[in-house]
């Protein structure tokens, strides 16, 4: 079994070593603004009454995480693109 692993590893290294040129690919960030999620305008009291406390808290955490991702993306784009 070890001999099979060693021969496979040797074949991989031989294939890799045959590549002698390095190709650089330019990477440019997309600096368009982050699209803000469109959330419906729902009365929170009615939603809490309909869902109950536990499900409302789950939904609230989901929406908070959604906004934190959007904020983080905006901050990263601002740093990378110099805005």
pLDDT in tens, 23-52: 888 888 788 887 877 777 888 888 888 899
What is the mean pLDDT of the segment spanning 61-66? 91
Quick check: is 15 in a domain? Answer: no
Residue 63: inside a domain: yes
Domain annotation covers residue 48? yes
Q: Which residue has the higher pLDDT, 32 or 58?
A: 58
The pLDDT value recorded for residue 12 is 67
% the chain with pLDDT above 90: 17
Residue at 73 is within a domain: yes
φ, ψ (nearest 5 deg) of residue 19: -85, 110
Q: Is residue 51 part of a domain?
A: yes
11 is a domain residue: no
CA angle 27, 28, 30 (to 5 degrees): 135
d(CA 29, CA 66): 22
Q: Which of 59, 36, 35 is nearest to 47 (CA)?
A: 59
Task: Say which residues have a Cβ less than 8 Å from residue 36's Cβ, sequence separation at least 6.
Answer: 70
Element (H, E) at 10: helix 2-17
Count up the domains in the chain and report the number: 1
Domain membership of residue 57 (yes or no) is: yes
Q: What is the pLDDT of residue 2?
A: 66
Domain residue limits at 41: 37-83
């Amino acid at each position: 079994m070890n001999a099979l692993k060693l021969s496979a590893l040797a074949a991989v290294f031989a294939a890799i070593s045959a590549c002698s040129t390095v190709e650089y690919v330019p990477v440019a960030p997309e600096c368009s603004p982050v699209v803000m999620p469109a959330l419906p305008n729902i009365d929170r009291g009615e939603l809490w009454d309909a869902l109950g406390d536990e499900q409302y808290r789950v939904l609230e955490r989901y929406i908070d995480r959604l906004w934190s991702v959007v904020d983080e993306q905006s901050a990263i784009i601002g740093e990378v693109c110099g805005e």
